[in-house]
Structure 1
Amino acid sequence: MEIVNVRIDERLIHGQVAAVWTNTLNATRIMVIDDMAAKDEIQKIALKMACPSTVKLSILPAEKAADRLKSEAYPTDRIFVVLKGPKTIKQVADAGYMFPVVNVGNMSNKHGSTQVKRSVSVTPEDVAAFRELTDRGVKFTAQMVPTEEKIDFMPLIKDL
């Protein structure tokens, strides 16, 4: 089992993730980690439709995802993990699995958020979660598409 990328993208699986990222990473499985999506049959159907037919898909709540990752349940897969935000990463970490590097790709503008990069807006709660996870050893990068240069994400939120 190899985790080829962990990406925060509120849209989960969409054209950019399904076509560009999955192909560039040569991923064989997309793992969506989201408690709500794992319970919502309509969202699961939509995610299955958006997933490339050549790629396996897992839609799991945070705790179950941590268990699967700890047990290396997908021994031959190249896994592309997609989740909505730092809160979910914290849930996975609290369940015993730590991602060493996470790519911050898309977090939409919402009430109380501050835009820190094109397509990335963070709330004070997001900033607190990013800082806590950084203190626990997670490195955050920002990269919208694979051809864009990866940059260190934390300087973007240092003054918030």
Structure 2
Amino acid sequence: MAKVVLARIDDRLIHGQVMTAWLPYVGANHIVVIDDETAADDFVKSIMQMSVPREIKLDIYHGDEAAAAIQKMDDDEKLMLLAKIPESFLSLLETGVSLERIIIGGMGANPQRSKFYKNISASGLEKETFKKIMAHGTELVIHIIPDQQAVGLEEYLK
């Protein structure tokens, strides 16, 4: 199976910070977006493809197909996994994909979410999902850009 070099929760998925800071920092050669809405929208998928350098492979999966696809990927693949919601990563963990660490990079406010750390917001359900992710032995941190310090999530879930 491919090596996961970064798993990131971010509402924006592919954007400037991801492409200019995280991609070179982790040395990924394959970006995997896990998001039902994005996977169903051919226009958004084409825009994302244009945003990724040619030498970087991009795949966009519905949540229910991501785990099987990742498990079949070649060993030389260095994966950057991107999802909008924590449930996408919980689903991977529950279907056998091992994730040592997941970072939260951007979860913006909306009517269901409340702020819990600077500009990071989460709903009650998302906070419960964070706890389930950590119960799998996966480290969960807030880490906006590589040259900033990562912040552990545990104390913000109380």
> Shared fold (TM-score greater than 0.5)?
yes
Distance 1:82 1:94, change over 3 A: same
1:19 matched to which residue of 2? Answer: 20
What per-residue deviation string (whole Å, max 9, x for no partner) do you get for residues 75-101 of structure 1?
212111111111111222333324221
* In 1: Cα distance, 2:71 partner to 2:128 partner: 26
On the 8 A contact 1:104/1:153 being kept in 2, the answer is no
State percent identity of aligned pairs: 24
Match of 2:103 in 1: 103
Describe the superposition over 1:7-28 as per-residue Cα deviations: whole angstroms up to 9, x where unpaired: 0011000111111110111111
Which amino acid is 2:148 matched to? E
CA contact (8 A) 2:134 2:140 kept: yes
5+ residue gaps, structure 1, are none
Alignment TM-score, normalising by the size of structure 2: 0.91
Q: Report the residue type matching 1:116 in the other structure.
A: F
Distance 2:64 2:121 in 1: 26
- 1:154 deviates by 2.1
Deviation, 1:60, is 1.1
Moved more, 117-126 or 88-97: 88-97
Bigger shift: residues 34-43 or 6-15: 34-43
Runs of 4+ that moved beyond 4 A = none
Q: CA offset at residue 133 of structure 1?
A: 1.7
**Any gaps of 5 or more consecutive residues in structure 2?**
none
1:85-124 equivalence runs, <5 A: 85-124=85-124
